[in-house]
Amino acid sequence: MLFGFNFQLLIALFLIPLLYASIIFFTSPYKSVTFKRGLLYLWGGMFSTVIVQLFYFFIPQLTERHTDFYEYFLVVGPVEEMSKFILFYGIVVLTRGNKTSEHPFKYMFYFAMTGLENIHYIVRYGELVLLIRTFTSTIAHMVFGLFFGYCIGLGTITKKNFEDRSVFGVLVRKHNKLKKVIYFFVGLFFSSFYHGMYNYNLATSDESSKIILIMLLTFGLLMSKFLSDDLNRRWSLRSK
């Protein structure tokens, strides 16, 4: 605290999340994303919690108490991931006239940025929660966004030949909107499922929760790197 200003809170709230974002940015394909645009999604992510509350307000059945499994896998995970997508899509629509890269990695990066906010948790739980959340939950929510963004990005890649001769490949080639809808639900499922695993572990694993948490975060980060490389490879081979 200096001159009445809490610099520790500022660092935990913005600088650490921005450090995570910088790592993704500097390892991203060249000119696929812009950090300035990423900051827009980071700021926008702060309002995703408002959308979460609207879900609970208009669908009060979601607030009813169920088993831990039901709550985390079928309520919390899907509601939070869907809320981030609504906000993400809203920013896409509002900035549609701006020139952006066509590289599908942008969906992974920008979607991950919407999950880096911490202010909602400070308001709800106080500053002490940042010590844990900055190094665990923030990374986890970033990973959820990377998973979802991968599927959204995958749904935008259109090959210029019929290399994929599967029934699904031919069908979605003829119906591009259907392809995007399918990949949207796939992304929602996997990000919500991993989100549910994260919360379920913290709520039920007791002494072993820390070990499982490290395993979940490590696997999530490694898988995110694999998905990023796969998306970049598919994009580079789209016209061959």
pLDDT digits (tens, 9 = 90+) for 180-207: 999 999 999 999 999 999 989 988 988 8
Q: Is residue 50 part of a domain?
A: yes
* Token pair listed for 237: 């081979």
- Residue 222 confidence (pLDDT) above 80: yes
Chain centroid, CA 168 distance in Å: 26
Q: Is residue 182 part of a domain?
A: yes
Q: How many structural domains does the chain have?
A: 1
Name the pLDDT band for 208 (thresholds 50, 70, 90).
Answer: confident
Mean pLDDT of the chain: 83
- Residue 78 confidence (pLDDT) above 70: yes
Q: Which residue has the higher pLDDT, 162 or 109?
A: 109
Is 55:77 a contact under the CB 8 Å cutoff? no
Q: Is residue 3 part of a domain?
A: no
- Residue 210 confidence (pLDDT) above 70: yes
* Res 18: pLDDT: 79
Q: Is residue 6 part of a domain?
A: no
Q: What is the mean pLDDT of residues 230-234?
A: 91
Q: Is residue 69 part of a domain?
A: yes
Q: Cα(194)–Cα(86) distance, rounded to whole angstroms?
A: 19
Name the pLDDT band for 21 (thresholds 50, 70, 90).
Answer: confident
Q: Is residue 9 part of a domain?
A: no
* Structural domain range at position 119: 17-158+166-236
- E strands, the chain, in order: none
pLDDT tens by residue, 134-171 = 668 888 888 999 999 999 999 988 766 555 566 666 67
The model's pTM: 0.88
* Token pair listed for 200: 């379920």
Q: Cα(227)–Cα(223) distance, rounded to whole angstroms?
A: 6
Name the pLDDT band for 108 (thresholds 50, 70, 90).
Answer: very high
**Beta-carbon count within 10 A of 159 CB:** 14
Q: Is residue 2 part of a domain?
A: no
Q: Cα(177)–Cα(174) distance, rounded to whole angstroms?
A: 9
Q: Is residue 217 part of a domain?
A: yes
Q: Cα(225)–Cα(240) distance, rounded to whole angstroms?
A: 24
Is 32:101 a contact under the CB 8 Å cutoff? yes
